[in-house]
Each structure stands twice: as C-alpha cells, then as structure tokens.
Amino acid sequence: MKILILTKRERHVAKLVMQGMSNKQVARALGICEGTVKVHLHSAYTKLGAANRVQLFNIIKQERVGA
C-alpha cells in the first residue's frame, strides 16, 4: 500500500484535505502554519506520484477500496 509510505502527519493532513478543508483550515485544526501544511502536502504528492489534491484524493480512495 502506497499510503503507508506517508508519515503519520502527512496522512493526517491528507485526511483533512480529503474532507474538503483548505490549507488554512487544516493549519488551524492542527495548530501549525499554513506553510507547514503545504510542505506536508507536497511531500505526500511526491511520495504518491500525485500532481494535485484531486489526484491525491483518488490515489488514497483507490487504496482504501483496494482497487
């Protein structure tokens, strides 16, 4: 499973993004800077081969379903 290569924080950020939260909302929810959210997302995109939020969502959703 590709998602397991993400750190715990990257998975948490990705989960909140998948719920429709903006970077600013994720930052507030986690008590971190918006720039830090961007760093975590960029790292997740790189590790999973995603170019954007939509692709990240699709990759994670696909892995959860097992397709």
From first to last of its 67 residues, the chain has per-residue pLDDT tens of 677 799 999 999 999 999 999 999 999 999 999 999 999 999 999 999 999 999 999 998 888 766 5
Which CATH fold would you assign to the domain 2-65?
Answer: Arc Repressor Mutant, subunit A (1.10.10)
pTM of the entire structure? Answer: 0.87
What confidence score (pLDDT) does residue 19 get?
Answer: 94
| Cβ contacts of 41 within 8 Å, gap of 6 or more | 10, 13, 14, 17, 23, 53, 56
So what's the pLDDT on residue 67?
Answer: 52
CB 24 within 8 A of CB 32: no
Q: What is the pLDDT of residue 64?
A: 72
- Which sign does the torsion angle of CA 31, 48, 15, 7 carry? negative
